[in-house]
Amino acid sequence: MKKEEEEEEQRRTSAQSPAENETAKDRRDDEDEDEDEEQASEEQDNCDGAIKKDKRVPGIIYLGHIPPRFRPKHLRNMLSAYGEIGRIFLQPEDHQVRRKKKKSGSRRLDFTEGWVEFRDKRVAKRVALSLHNTPMGTHKRQRFFSDLWNMKYLHRFQWTHLSERLAYEQTVLQQRLRAEVSQAKRETNFYLNNVEKSVRLDKRRKRRKDGEQVSEKSWDFTQRQTEEEIQKKKRASKTGQHLKKAHLIEQKSQSNVSLLAKIFNSSKSE
């Protein structure tokens, strides 16, 4: 029986399109995960002998399209009919897009993408499979009937992953802004220096036209000394030191001679 069922499933998958095959694989994976969780919970209950409790694991759905003027309260009101909803986050537009809108005169804040957390991941999977590519409204007169749901259930995705991603994007944005500010400062400083140079050159040209003498700057460059020149300087300094020592010795000897002459001359006079 099992072999016949497997053969029938293979025939069905071969007849289906690749998109349908992917959805079927996702459904099988979800069913396998649910069965594994149920078996694990039953084994725990049998081992412990305790009463089974309702421990629900949250599931997160990603929304790839957010229509204009769509707010978190609208999302909560629409999806709360399918199950209990936890946290909701909608990514606002970029700052550049907001500036363009402000310049055009519109102060409306729109969102680009979003994440919804359901208290039970089974409900989240069913909602994502059933509402994907379907109109948001149930009646034509509703506000967002012309827009379609763009949903995807995120397997093994937690809310902490979303917070980490947002923090990383914020740090990258700050680093990019710092780099842009530093580049702008460099460009402004370079421009100001060039302006000052051009003003000085204009003043010099005016003075030359008037016949005044302009004192131009003379740039003096000192060439590095060679080894021969360095050795000559060292020898000259050494010879100079020897000469100074000899001169000092001569002066001392002369002073001693004068003292001896005074002493002996005084003794002769007595």
Q: Give the tens place of pLDDT for each residue, 43-54.
A: 555 544 443 445
On the question of pLDDT at 5 being above 70, the answer is no
Q: Are 119 and 86 in contact (CB under 8 A)?
A: yes
Alpha carbon distance 103, 100 (integer Å): 5
Listed range (71-75, 101-105, 111-115) with the worst mean pLDDT: 101-105
Three-state SS annotation for 139-167: CCCCCCCCCECCEEEECCCCHHHHHHHHH
Residue 214: predicted pLDDT: 52
Residue whose pair of structure tokens reads 């020149």 in the numeric block: 229
On the question of pLDDT at 74 being above 80, the answer is yes
What is the DSSP-derived secondary structure letter of residue 58? P
Residue 266: predicted pLDDT: 65
Residue 205: predicted pLDDT: 84
Beta bridge partners of 59: 118
Alpha carbon distance 103, 97 (integer Å): 10
The predicted-structure confidence for 224-239, as pLDDT tens digits, reads as follows 778 888 888 888 888 8
Listed range (27-31, 218-222, 254-258) with the worst mean pLDDT: 27-31
pLDDT-based confidence at 19, cuts 50/70/90? very low
Across the range 247-255, mean pLDDT stands at 80
DSSP 3-state assignment of 67?
coil
Give the rounded percent of residues in the chain with a pLDDT score beyond 70: 73
On the question of pLDDT at 111 being above 80, the answer is yes
> Left if phi > 0, otherwise alpha if psi is -120 to 50, otherwise beta: which for 158?
beta
Q: How many Cβ atoms are within 10 Å of 17's Cβ, its own excluded?
A: 8
DSSP 3-state assignment of 87?
strand
The per-residue b/e assignment along 21-39, b for 16 or more CB within 10 angstroms, e otherwise, is eeeeebeeebeeeeeeeee
Q: Which residue has the higher pLDDT, 169 or 119?
A: 119
Q: Are 89 and 162 in contact (CB under 8 A)?
A: yes
